[in-house]
Structures are given as C-alpha cells and as structure tokens.
C-alpha cells in the first residue's frame, strides 16, 4: 500500500490541527483540572473551538485537490484525517468540558 499522499502538507494539516487540539486540552487539564472555571469558557476553550473549526476548510481543500488525482489514496488519507478529528473531539466529550 502506497500512502505517499500522506506526506503532502495538505494531508498533514488536518492531522496537525488535531494534534494541537489534543495537546491544548491535555495542557489545560493538567494545569487546571476538569472543573468549570466560571461563566466564561476562557481562552483555551475558544482556541480549541477555532482549531476544530479550521479542520473543515483544511479537509475540504485536501479533498478538492487530491480526490480527482488520486481517489484511492485520498480516501485512505481522509479516513486518517477523520480518525484524528474524532480523537480531537473525544477528550472534550469524555471529560465533559
């Protein structure tokens, strides 16, 4: 199986956004715990929301660019991107943040 498409920046960007989202949540939980900090969500929550929102155009750009050229490889990379996206969403859901 050749996944050379996974080395392209447009394929790696959504995965990098997921890693950054997970690192942000992990850092916040390590520093402040899982208790709610008051009415306002705070800067970390807003930054996490922006990182999650940035996934949409990044994945759409990847699909528009690579599905017509390499549909089979693009499908494999898309699955990896979606798994990474789900992993970025899961800590917030599981911890109730």
List pLDDT tens digits, range 65-87: 999 999 999 999 999 999 999 99
8-state DSSP, 34:
S
Q: How confident is the model at residue 4 (pLDDT cuts 50, 70, 90)?
A: confident
- The backbone region for 40, taken as left when phi is positive above 0, alpha when psi lies in -120 to 50, beta otherwise, is beta
Given a contact cutoff of 8 angstroms between Cβ atoms, the answer to whether 85 and 30 are in contact is no
| Helix then strand then coil, % of the chain, to nearest 5 | 80, 0, 20
pTM: 0.86
Q: Quick count: other Cβ atoms within 10 Å of Cβ 24?
A: 17
């Amino acid at each position: 199986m050749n996944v050379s498409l996974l080395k392209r920046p447009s394929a790696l960007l959504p995965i990098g956004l997921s890693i950054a989202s997970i690192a942000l949540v992990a850092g916040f939980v390590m520093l402040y715990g899982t208790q709610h900090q008051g009415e306002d969500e705070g800067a970390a929550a807003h930054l996490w929301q922006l990182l999650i929102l940035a996934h949409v155009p990044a994945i759409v750009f990847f699909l528009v660019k690579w599905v017509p050229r390499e549909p089979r490889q693009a499908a494999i990379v898309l699955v990896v991107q979606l798994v990474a996206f789900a992993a970025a969403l899961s800590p917030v859901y599981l911890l109730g943040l």
